[in-house]
Structure 1
Amino acid sequence: MLSKGHLFSAVLLLVLKGATKSRCAEAQISSGFNFLVIYPENIAYFYPEEPHNQLHVTALLDNTEVTVVIREQIHTETLAAAQTRRFFIYGDAELGREGVSDKVLRVNSTRQVTVHAVSIKAGSIQSARVLPVDRLGTEYLVPPVPQIQGTTQPADMVSPNVTEYTPFRLIVVNAEKVNTVNLEGEGNNTREVELEPYHATQFRVDGDKAWRVVRAKHPVAVLFGHPCASTLNCSCSMLYATLSPKPNDKMTFLVPPPLSQDSEDQTAVLLSQDSLVDSSYPGWPLLELSSIAILYRPGLLLPLIPQSELASCYVVNAIPDVHNFAIILVHKDLTAGVRVGGAPPKDLTWRALAGTNYVSTVVNFSLDNNIIWHTSDKMAVYYMGEKGNATFGNPALAVSQISDYRGCVLSPEVLEIGSEALAWKESVKFCRERNLHLVTLSSSALLNQVEAKVRQESTRDGIPRRAWIGLRRSTLTNAWYWINRAPLTVSNWQGANPEGSDGGQCGTISLEMGQDYGWSRENCCLDVHPICYREPHLFPMQ
């Protein structure tokens, strides 16, 4: 069964300066149209308390129709931009210990959404970022099983018949095509399984079944974890992570120090080369690896976000009755660019991260905000939650890799220097025919941003010496104005007095090197190249 409600959140941010694009850069973007969700066994399928699993779906755009399907149940909602709907997924959708299952939940939408899955049973809570189907992979590297006293240690305690001591598991979730899945393990151990559409299968990861690679003919999702791993308070809790597809290149990770707080001696990063590293590893907390990296501490398996997969804006969903906070790691020069909702977090104390150029802080998180973004760079954001002695979390839901001082960008601004020189009036028409307008430089921030874009364009051949902007002088009042009626609060006039009686009535901007993009007044009938512009489409701030 499915139902809906409201939510709030907790996050951890990691901002890295100067992030560059790579072949992996698209992989972490979490918005899409089609998703697969599975709810693993939590504590035990026979545990007397019912699970209260949740599914958070957030629409990026208005009039988004969302359909949630599990077995014969279908539920459809139409969401507005920035609206999050919370569905309750009841116990009959949770996996037991069956080898193959059809308990795969599907989320389909007409416009882009993000999906956040949460498993809750008693005090056992885990959350997961759900990637869209088109960003799943066909090859995954499996991390080593963490050494957990009372679960995997001593080794002779591990038994499939006792919940706390059952082996770790791999769960492979298939999409819409009949699929062949191959597992490769130690000692040339292999296994092949055929999966029907929208089915999942489970494998033990222990001893001679220590699988290291998952390969599939068609894309699949892969989860790694345990239904009831021992925690710090001598109880057990669900422990799962959604694996990322095998990386193509060597990657750099930063390990957020707050994640090991109060558990430093039990915190490690699991690597897919069948090894783990801790704070004694050279370079820690900055790691350069040829593998995926999953941080383990009692009660938490957290996939770390590589530097190549940073984004500028994240949707952050939340769970009621959970301790909410944000831990931020940011380059020391970029702290001012972090935004929570529509404003920068206040009254922060930044602490240096030893051996790096990064600093960290803790910020209380408002229940009303569900967007984390940066004004000028990319960052990594981790959703985190605490309840009782349980800590859980996941990489947050990235929706944009484009930074902008105005907000979270869903579609980027457009700046185009016209290829043909035209009179000012014809330039206005030229831009409008392209669903653009002559650029309006109505604020210092926009002026700086447009100048940076023009500077990038100026590296190509044939850039004009000057261009029309949307600045005009009134023949009635002689006052200068922007044609979109924005207030004329900043200026960058160059040369002759713009208020003088002689000279032209239309504004241009210099594109010549060394001229500081100064403005000048010109005869409106001169043929000059136009700069056409369209503002970015931003995610609504609540």
Structure 2
Amino acid sequence: MFVILLIASTFSQGLTMVSYGNDFITAFPENVAYFYPYTSRRILRITALHNDTTFTVHFNNTEKTSSVLESGKTATMLFPKTAEVHQLGSSSNSIRITSDNDIVVHSFSQTNIGTLLEKSVQTHVVQPITNLGTNYLIPSLNHSDLIQTFNRSSPDPWYQRNSSFKLIIINAEYTENTVTIVKNISGSVQEEKIKISSYQLIQIQANASLIKVESSHKVAVILTHPCLEMTASCKCNMIVNQILPTEFQGQNFVVPYIPSITQSRLLMTSNDKSTSLSHSNVQLQPSPSGLLSLSDQTKSQYVNTSGNVSLTLISPGLFIEVIPENMFAACYLLQVYSDVSSTNKQALVIAETSSKTNLHKQNNLVTNAVWFDIPGTKYSSAPVSLSESTTVIWHPTSKIAVYILENTGTTVYGGPAIAINTQLDEFGCVAIPGHYEVGNEHLSWAESLAYCMSLQKHLACPTREDIQKELPGKVDTAEEEAWIGLRRSLMTTNWYWQRTPSTTPLPSPSVDYFHWADEHPDENFTGLCASLSLNEKDKFKWKSAKCCEKKRPVCYTPAIGFYPLPLDTPLQLF
């Protein structure tokens, strides 16, 4: 019999944000071209985190069920033009994806204009319903102000009639939802209530007066523009920005440098009008349109705010939600849509300078990245080229931010990569978290090692401070000790970790972290093995002990990693 000691779950760490789940809802905003004729595609990529995953796509009163047999495999669903949300008002064009195991969902929309290479392309991560909420702040955007800010010429009258931003609000629950639209018109706050049926959506105009959306039940909120004229070649790009609930805001941000972008601004959205944004201890002043400028747009820069905000990096035809520092993750999935032989695909990675050389892509260290220190911070940034159609970028000891960018030559698109996990693990991305268990039987250290190995586990090894800090508060036991996988070498008397299961050999990590109790370890070398206290009052301190003493074993089931497989699954027509 085992007593559960610790389940190392992402969701046990307080408010975090990962992009996997088993229930999603989204929609395809309208994507038009400035010139006709055009061709277009609307795609959802659904990637399984576990073997034998079955998912169902619900659209237009029909369902399509598919299976993905391997972890890391992606199914690609192609939707018709009629799936786009064209009209204002209510619609049944929402798309819901449910599954029996965790999946991630990525959305892609592309319009090719005539026979030219011009493209209107947007991608975004579809957030699981667990990440949705009932309170959203809406960025204050005025189309004319954006045109003037980026020195674009005024569009023709046809375009002016179609120049408004739009907001798609999707009821994420199987119940009628009351949505409150909050506007600030000439200093007067006005509210409008709208009823939305189960899993239905409504599209409304989103001008600068729209400030907030509140709802009685969870909703997904997408800010979009079908054809934002902000490029010099008389063409337009669709904009898609899935807004996150207010609880996912932050105060500290590393604003990424976007190659090939010569003009950019920041848009800060806050519930408190007095909130300020600072860079290098200098408070940034917004323009009349509310946009803020950074002095140097050729490097990543650190900014902080006086209160919780969301921050959007805006450039002609490109909106990128900036990942707040408190939402950095351990592992990201990246999927590209352009030709895999193209050199115009890359990730931009923000990592701690002290550990930047430990960045991994798939199973390999990233060794050829050119890092740039971000002044006044502990971070550095680097572009990482992507030759694969799908990959993961992860870090074993510190959380990172990852953005993915693609450049068609005329259009730059992309945004935050798909956050797979916030749990740091020295062996890669985590699909199924590892967990610790305390055995009931009292055994010697050697017997405990053999016992854990017989269960395809190994003795627990809290090799880092962050692992050790996960232990307190997870058990409430009598005052006793339990064996961990630390002991001394009989040859050198140096401490080493022993954690090799019988079927999955793992390298022994270096011993550069200790959590000894007072007067330990025993310097007379009578105690060659290590145990930890199971009493929270003792702060789970370690003690050296004779290896023949009888103690309970602490076994650890290693996490199961996630690695994407090549995107060779054919398109499935819905």
| CA distance 1:249–1:430, change in 2 (3 Å) | same
Pick the aligned partner of 1:439 from 459, 464, 467: 459
Aligned residue number for residue 232 of structure 1: 231
In structure 2, C-alpha distance between the alignment counterparts of 1:508 and 1:93, rounded to whole Å: 64
Q: Is the 8 A contact 1:151 1:229 kept in 2?
A: no
Residue 385, structure 1, aligned to residue 406, structure 2: yes
In structure 1, C-alpha distance between the alignment counterparts of 2:177 and 2:224, rounded to whole Å: 23
Per-residue deviation, 1:53: 1.1
In structure 2, C-alpha distance between the alignment counterparts of 1:165 and 1:149, rounded to whole Å: 14
Per-residue deviation, 1:454: 5.3
In structure 2, C-alpha distance between the alignment counterparts of 1:194 and 1:166, rounded to whole Å: 26
Residue 276, structure 1, aligned to residue 265, structure 2: no
Aligned residue number for residue 4 of structure 1: none
Aligned residue number for residue 169 of structure 1: 166
Counterpart of 1:271, as a letter, is T
Residue 412, structure 1, aligned to residue 412, structure 2: no
Counterpart of 1:221, as a letter, is A
Q: Secondary structure at the match of 1:393?
A: strand
Aligned residue number for residue 312 of structure 2: 294
Per-residue deviation, 1:132: 0.9
Residue 308, structure 1, aligned to residue 309, structure 2: no
In structure 2, C-alpha distance between the alignment counterparts of 1:313 and 1:153, rounded to whole Å: 38
Q: Is the 8 A contact 2:164 2:207 kept in 1?
A: yes
Deviations 1:361-406 (A, max 9, x none): 2221131542111111112222222112211112221121111111
| CA distance 1:463–1:276, change in 2 (3 Å) | farther
Q: Which structure 2 residues correspond to residues 86-165 of structure 1 after superposition, within 5 A?
A: 86-122=76-112, 123-145=119-141, 147-149=145-147, 162=159, 165=162
Q: How many residue pairs get matched?
A: 491
TM-score (norm: length of structure 1): 0.78
Aligned residue number for residue 317 of structure 1: 335
Aligned residue number for residue 336 of structure 1: 357
In structure 2, C-alpha distance between the alignment counterparts of 1:72 and 1:370, rounded to whole Å: 34
Task: Return structure 1 stretches of 4+ with deviation > 6 angstroms.
Answer: 150-159, 458-463, 470-473, 480-483, 487-497, 516-521
Q: Which structure 2 residues correspond to residues 53-68 of structure 1 after superposition, within 5 A?
A: 53-68=42-57
Q: Secondary structure at the match of 2:130?
A: helix
Counterpart of 2:303, as a letter, is L
In structure 2, C-alpha distance between the alignment counterparts of 1:133 and 1:84, rounded to whole Å: 20
Per-residue deviation, 1:298: 0.6
Per-residue deviation, 1:432: 8.0
Q: Secondary structure at the match of 1:335?
A: helix
Aligned residue number for residue 30 of structure 2: 41
In structure 2, C-alpha distance between the alignment counterparts of 1:517 and 1:185, rounded to whole Å: 58
Q: Secondary structure at the match of 2:199?
A: coil
Q: Secondary structure at the match of 2:246?
A: coil
Counterpart of 1:90, as a letter, is P
In structure 2, C-alpha distance between the alignment counterparts of 1:487 and 1:198, rounded to whole Å: 47
Deviations 1:243-285 (A, max 9, x none): 01113775222111236x5423x4333434683322159x963
Aligned residue number for residue 401 of structure 1: 422
| CA distance 1:364–1:425, change in 2 (3 Å) | closer
| CA distance 1:385–1:192, change in 2 (3 Å) | same
Structure 1 unaligned regions, length at least 5: 1-19, 441-445, 474-479, 498-502
Aligned residue number for residue 7 of structure 1: none
Aligned residue number for residue 85 of structure 1: 75
Q: Secondary structure at the match of 1:333?
A: helix
Counterpart of 2:97, as a letter, is V
RMSD across aligned C-alpha pairs, in angstroms?
4.1
Residue 540, structure 1, aligned to residue 530, structure 2: no
Q: Which structure 2 residues correspond to residues 486-525 of structure 1 after superposition, within 5 A?
A: 486=505, 508-509=529-530, 511=532, 522-523=547-548
Aligned residue number for residue 529 of structure 1: 552
Aligned residue number for residue 12 of structure 1: none
Q: Is the 8 A contact 1:469 1:530 kept in 2?
A: no
Counterpart of 2:315, as a letter, is R
Q: Secondary structure at the match of 2:377?
A: coil
| CA distance 1:73–1:257, change in 2 (3 Å) | same
Per-residue deviation, 1:427: 4.4
Q: Is the 8 A contact 1:151 1:158 kept in 2?
A: no
| CA distance 1:354–1:447, change in 2 (3 Å) | closer
Residue 190, structure 1, aligned to residue 191, structure 2: yes
Q: Is the 8 A contact 2:155 2:229 kept in 1?
A: no
Q: Is the 8 A contact 1:339 1:374 kept in 2?
A: yes
| CA distance 1:93–1:164, change in 2 (3 Å) | same
Deviations 1:112-153 (A, max 9, x none): 000000111111001111111122111110111153228999
Per-residue deviation, 1:518: 9.4
Deviations 1:390-432 (A, max 9, x none): 1111222112111111111123333345576444687469758
In structure 2, C-alpha distance between the alignment counterparts of 1:351 and 1:217, rounded to whole Å: 46
In structure 1, C-alpha distance between the alignment counterparts of 2:242 and 2:418, rounded to whole Å: 13
| CA distance 1:138–1:154, change in 2 (3 Å) | same
Q: Is the 8 A contact 2:268 2:309 kept in 1?
A: no
Deviations 1:316-358 (A, max 9, x none): 2221336311222222112122111111223222122233332
Aligned residue number for residue 377 of structure 2: 356
| CA distance 1:133–1:510, change in 2 (3 Å) | closer
In structure 2, C-alpha distance between the alignment counterparts of 1:463 and 1:148, rounded to whole Å: 65
In structure 2, C-alpha distance between the alignment counterparts of 1:418 and 1:362, rounded to whole Å: 47
TM-score (norm: length of structure 2): 0.74
Aligned residue number for residue 5 of structure 1: none
Q: Is the 8 A contact 1:420 1:529 kept in 2?
A: yes
In structure 1, C-alpha distance between the alignment counterparts of 2:261 and 2:78, rounded to whole Å: 33
| CA distance 1:436–1:245, change in 2 (3 Å) | same
Counterpart of 1:212, as a letter, is I
Per-residue deviation, 1:230: 1.7
In structure 2, C-alpha distance between the alignment counterparts of 1:366 and 1:152, rounded to whole Å: 33
Per-residue deviation, 1:201: 1.1
In structure 2, C-alpha distance between the alignment counterparts of 1:391 and 1:75, rounded to whole Å: 33
Counterpart of 1:528, as a letter, is K
Q: Is the 8 A contact 2:371 2:382 kept in 1?
A: yes
In structure 1, C-alpha distance between the alignment counterparts of 2:499 and 2:333, rounded to whole Å: 38
In structure 1, C-alpha distance between the alignment counterparts of 2:470 and 2:31, rounded to whole Å: 52
Aligned residue number for residue 214 of structure 1: 213
Counterpart of 1:253, as a letter, is F
Q: Secondary structure at the match of 2:72?
A: coil
Structure 2 unaligned regions, length at least 5: 1-10, 113-118, 274-289, 490-497, 512-520, 566-574
Q: Secondary structure at the match of 2:529?
A: strand
Q: Is the 8 A contact 1:56 1:317 kept in 2?
A: no
Per-residue deviation, 1:33: 0.7
Greater CA deviation, 166-175 or 124-133?
Answer: 166-175
In structure 2, C-alpha distance between the alignment counterparts of 1:351 and 1:225, rounded to whole Å: 33
